[in-house]
Chains A and B, each alone.
Chain A
Amino acid sequence: MLRIQNVLLNPGLNCGFDHDFLPGGMTVVLGRNQAGKTNLCRLIAGLSTQAVGELSLNNAPLNKLSPQKRSVAVVFQAFVNYPNWSVQQNIASPMVAAGKDKAYIQSRVAELAAKLGLGELLQRMPNELSGGQQQRLAIARALAKEAQVLLLDEPLVNLDYKLREALALELRSLLDDSDTTVIYTTTDPKDAFTLGDDLLLLEGGNKLQAGAPLSVYQTPKTFAAANLMSDPGINTFTWSSLSDQAFAQQCQTASGVSKRGGVRPEHLFFVAKSEFNAEECVGFDLQVSALETSGDETFVHGVVQASNLGFSDPRFSDLGFSDTGLSDSGLRDQPSWVVRSPGMLNFSQGQVLLVAVQKRDILAFGGQ
C-alpha cells in the first residue's frame, strides 16, 4: 500500500498532510490548476519537485530510492514516447531495462498492444501516430513496467473531447482487474465518478477531503471541497437571507459555526407553482440571464429575486465567484446562480422562473 506522510506540496505551507492510497484501486486526485497535483505525482515518482514528504510502499520507505528503482510508472499530460523507437520498442523498453528475457518481452508487448488497440501499429514511429494513439502508447509503456504504482497526470486533457470519453472508459476497464495502485489526477469532477474508487481533493497544496466519490459529493466538509465536485461551482447564500429562518437555524446549529449554505447546480430544478411542495423544498424566483446547452444538459444562469418563499434578501452571495480568483477577470459581478437541468431547455432572457431545491440537498459547511 502506498502511504504518504507529512507531505508539503508547496514550500510556503505550514502543515503537511497524510494519505493512504487505496491498494489495488484507482484513486482520483481532483483539484484545480496549481493545486499541487503534478507536484504530488512527481514526489511519488521521485522526480525533482518542490514537494517534500515521506513515502512508503508496503512499509518500505521510498524516499531514498531513485526513480528507476521505485516501482512507479508515470503517464504524463504531454504524450511522452521515445521518438526514435518504434511502437514495439517503446513498449518493450521498460522490460528491456529490467533485463527480462526475450520471449517474455515479446509476448507481453503483443498482449499490451492488443489491449490498447495498437496491435497493427507495432512498427510505426510515434510521430506517425495520432494524439490518442500516442497516449495509448504511453499508457502501454507504463503498464509494461509492471510497477506497483501507476501515476496518470491528467493524461487525457490534450485529447479531443470524444476521444477523451472513449479512452477514459477504456482505462477504467483496463485497470479494473489489476492489482496496481492507480493514481489519476484531473480537474474534471466527472472523472472522479467515472474512474475513481477513492477520491482525494487538493486545493492550494492542501488536502481538503478524501473518501469514496459519492460520500465526498454528498457530505463535503468545507465549501472548497463542495465547490470542486460541482461543475460549474456551487451556488452559495447566507443563512440570514433565507425567508424560512426556522429552517436556517436548524441547519446552522447542525453544522456548527457555518454562516453560509450552498446548493449544487444539479440539485436545482424548475417547478410549476402548483406543484411546489413548501414542506420539502425551498423555492425562489430566478430571472434568466443566460442559457448554455450541450444537448443533454442545459445550464441556466440567472439572478435570484427576493421572495417570501425563498430568499428575503438575495444580495447575499458575498462569495459570488470570487473564490475562483476571477474578481479581476473583467466580467460582470452579479449574484448569479446556475441551474443544471437535463434536456435541452429553451428560455428567453429576462424570463422569471420558479426554481426549487429539496431541503435535504442544501449543504451546510462546517466551520467556514
Chain B
Amino acid sequence: MAINKPYNNRAWLGVLPVLLIVAFSAVIPLMTVVNYSVQDILDFNSRFYVGLDWYRETLQDPRFIEAFGRQVLFSLSVLAIEIPLGILVARGLPKSGAWTSVLLILLAVPLLIPWNVVGTIWQIYARSDIGLLGVGLNELGLAFNYTSNPTHAWLTLIAMDVWHWTSLVALLSFAGLTSVPPAYYQAAELDGASKWQVFRYVEMPRLGGVLVIAVLLRLMDSFMIYTEPFVLTGGGPGNATTFLSQYLATMAVGQFDLGPAAAFSVIYFLFILLFCWIFYNSVMTDETVEDAVENTANNNEARHHD
C-alpha cells in the first residue's frame, strides 16, 4: 500500500547516485558508440565525419546479411522449441507437495550456470572423441562431428540453448498455471472437456500474460547470444554458426574498425528494440484487460467463507 507522501524536491538528490552510475555504465558508452558510428576513425587522433556511410555499407555487406539471416533462423528455431517444451514441462510438474520444490530447484539449475561454462560443458559433451553425446551418437552409427559438419553444429547449438533456457519458460509457465483456481478445472471436467480442450480453453488464456514475458525475454536474449556459440563452435565450421554478435565482435575487436563496428552495433540495437516493440504492442493491449479481469476474479475468490 503506497502512502500519500508530501511532495519534496529533495528526493531527487536520492536518485542522483543511481543516475550517475547508469550514465557511466550505459548511457555514455551508448552515446559514444553512436558518435563513433558516424565517423571514420583511422587512429586516435585522426577522425573524419562520414555521416551515414557506415550504415549504408553495413546494411549492404553480404556477410552482415548472412549473419543476420542465421541469427533470425536461430532465434526462431529455439523459440519454436523452447516455448512449447517449457509449457509441457510446466504442465507435468505437480502443483503442490514435496516433489514440487525439488523439481523446481532441478529445473532452475541450468539457469544458474555461467554462460561460458554452459558453452564449455556442451563443447566437451558433444565431442566425437571424448564426449558422452558425441561418442554415443557415433556408436549408434551416426557420423556425428560438430566441428566439421555445419548441420551438426547447428543442432548442437540449438540443443544447448534449449537445455539452457527451457527452464525459464517452464518456471514462468508454472507460475501462470498455478494461478488457475481449481474450480476452472472442475468446471471443465464436469462439462465433459477433453484434455486438449482443458489446455486450450482453461490454461492457455491464463498463460497468455506469462508467455508474453517469456517470449520477449527469449527473443531478446537469443538475438544477442554470444558466449555459448563462441565457446562451442567459435563460429565454425567456416562461418556456419557465426551469428550477429560474433561477427560484430570480430569486426570491432579483431579488426579494430571502430566506425563500421559502431554502426553495426547501433543497427543491432535498433533491430532488437524493433522486434520487442512490435511484439509488445501487438500482444499487450489485450493482456492488460485480461489481467485486470483475472485480478478481480482472484479478489472474489479471496472473499472466502471458511
Interface on A for B, CB 8 Å cutoff?
A: 46-49, 64, 66-67, 78, 130-131, 157-160
Contact = CB atoms under 8 A, between A and B. Distances in A.
Interface of B: 1-6, 302-306
A159 B305 contact: yes
Contacts of B2: 47-48
Contact of B3 (A67, A130, A160): A67
Given A46-B3, A48-B4, 6 more contacts: A46-B4, A47-B1, A48-B1, A67-B3, A131-B305, A158-B303
A321 B224 CA distance: 61
Contacts of A47: 1-4
Nearest to B299: A78
A131 B306 contact: yes
Nearest to A157: B303
Given A47-B1, A48-B1, A158 B304 contact: yes
Nearest to A129: B306
A19 B247 CA distance: 71
Contacts of A130: 306
Nearest to B305: A160
A66 B304 contact: no
Interface of A is mostly: loop
Nearest to A132: B306
8 contacts: A46-B4, A47-B1, A47-B3, A47-B4, A67-B3, A131-B306, A158-B303, A160-B305
Contacts of B305: 131, 158-160
A78 B302 contact: yes
Contacts of B303: 78, 157-158
Nearest to B306: A131
B1 to A, nearest CB: 5
B51 to A, nearest CB: 50
Nearest to A130: B306
A183 B6 CA distance: 25
B92 to A, nearest CB: 30
Nearest to A48: B2
Contacts of B1: 47-48
B9 to A, nearest CB: 16
A46 B5 CA distance: 9
Contacts of B5: 66
**A-B residue pairs, 8 tightest by C-beta:** A48-B2, A131-B306, A158-B303, A48-B4, A47-B1, A64-B6, A160-B305, A67-B3
A120 B5 CA distance: 40
A66 B306 contact: no
A230 to B, nearest CB: 25
A15 B115 CA distance: 61
Nearest to B2: A48
Contacts of A48: 1-4
A66 B3 contact: yes
Nearest to B302: A78
B8 to A, nearest CB: 11
Contacts of A159: 305
A160 B306 CA distance: 8
B113 to A, nearest CB: 34
A283 B5 CA distance: 60
A11 to B, nearest CB: 14
Max count, chain A CB within 10 A of own CB: residue among B1, B2, B302, B306: B306
A66 B3 CA distance: 7
A324 B49 CA distance: 70
Nearest to A52: B4
A164 to B, nearest CB: 11
Contacts of A64: 6
A46 B2 CA distance: 9
Nearest to A134: B306
